[in-house]
Amino acid sequence: MDIKWIDSETITKENVAAELADVDGILVPGGFGDRGIDGMIYSIQYAREQKIPYLGLCLGMQLTIVEFARNILGYKDAHSSEFNPSSVHQVIHIMPDQDGVTDLGGTLRLGSYPCVLSKESKAFRLYGSDHIDERHRHRYEVNNDYRNALTEHGMLLSGLSPDGHIVEMIEIPDHPWFIGTQAHPEFKSRPNKAHPLFKGFIKAALSHQDKQ
């Protein structure tokens, strides 16, 4: 595997195709702050439109929702309240039980949480189970007000918290391999025991390479 590290601050609408033309998989990882998020969104759009295997982790999944809302739902100002509190369409917002909390460092949704996977999802086939546990480190989540719009336009909310309140994982079923997770699978992946999402992502990238 050859890793091509890309500084998302250098990615623009004009150069994204040239920068990513030679890759067989695109991964947008977790992070905090608004540095480089426009480049991440352009990269996600490129992966979705060009049918390149994609994996979004935490912030990567949240920006996947933003990109889909902007370019598929037509909400051009869609954003996360973390980055644009004045956006009309805050498709990602702060978890309700964290609203009003000012001590940001101590209020993360932190540690292992259960998730129920749709049996129609790629994630279910990768994990081999519909009940999983993954580690988290975040304060923002998918705004449930937009769930219906997302699913009506082709997104599968493939993983939910057991009470059905929190969107944990998403997929685009008509894409060869496009998955986003709110969790951090890298926390549970090992050199001799790769996490199911990473194994699936690499397999999909190799398949894309063969087709090319």
Q: How far is residue 175's CA from residue 140's CA, in Å, rounded to a whole number?
A: 26
Asked if residue 139 is part of any domain, the answer here is yes
Distance CA 136, CA 111 (A): 5
* Token pair listed for 112: 């292992």
Q: What confidence category does residue 45 fall into, taking pLDDT thresholds of 50, 70 and 90? A: very high
SS3 190: strand
Q: Can you name the residues that pair with 167 across neighbouring β-strands?
A: 160
Percentage with pLDDT > 70 across the chain: 93
Q: Is 67 exposed, middle or buried (0-12, 13-18, 19+ CB in 10 A)?
A: buried
Own/partner long-range contacts of 205-208 (Cβ < 8 Å, ≥24 apart)? 205/1, 205/24, 205/25, 205/53, 206/24, 207/53, 207/176, 208/24, 208/25, 208/52, 208/53, 208/176
Which position among 58, 89, 134, 171 bears the catalytic label? 58
In a domain, 90, yes or no: yes
Question: What per-residue confidence (pLDDT) applies to 183?
Answer: 95
Question: Among this protein's residues, is 165 annotated catalytic?
Answer: no
* Residue 62 CA from chain centroid, whole number: 5
The pLDDT value given to residue 94: 83
**Each residue of 104-119: pLDDT tens digit?**
545 567 789 999 999 9
| pLDDT given at position 31 | 86
Domain-embedded: residue 3: no
Q: Please write the tens of the pLDDT for every residue from 98-154.
A: 454 444 545 567 789 999 999 999 999 999 999 999 998 878 999 999 999 999 999
Domain housing 126: 8-16+23-211
Of residues 138, 184, 195, 208, which has the active-site annotation? Answer: 184
Active site residue 58: yes
With a CB cutoff of 8 Å and minimum separation 6, the contacts of 136 are 58, 108, 109, 110, 111, 112, 113, 182, 183, 184
The answer to the question of residue 2 being in a domain is no
pLDDT band at 78 (very low <50, low <70, confident <90, very high): very high
Q: Is residue 1 part of a domain?
A: no
Query: CATH number, domain at 68?
Result: 3.40.50.880
* pLDDT number for residue 111: 84
Q: Helices (DSSP H) in 3-152: which residue ranges?
A: 16-20, 37-49, 59-71, 122-127, 147-152
pLDDT in tens, 171-212: 999 999 999 999 999 999 999 999 999 999 999 999 999 998
Q: Is 126 helix (H, G, I), strand (E, B) or coil?
A: helix
Domain count, the chain: 1
Tell me the C-alpha distance between 83 and 130, whole Å. Answer: 33
Active site residue 186: yes
**pTM of this prediction exceeds 0.75:** yes
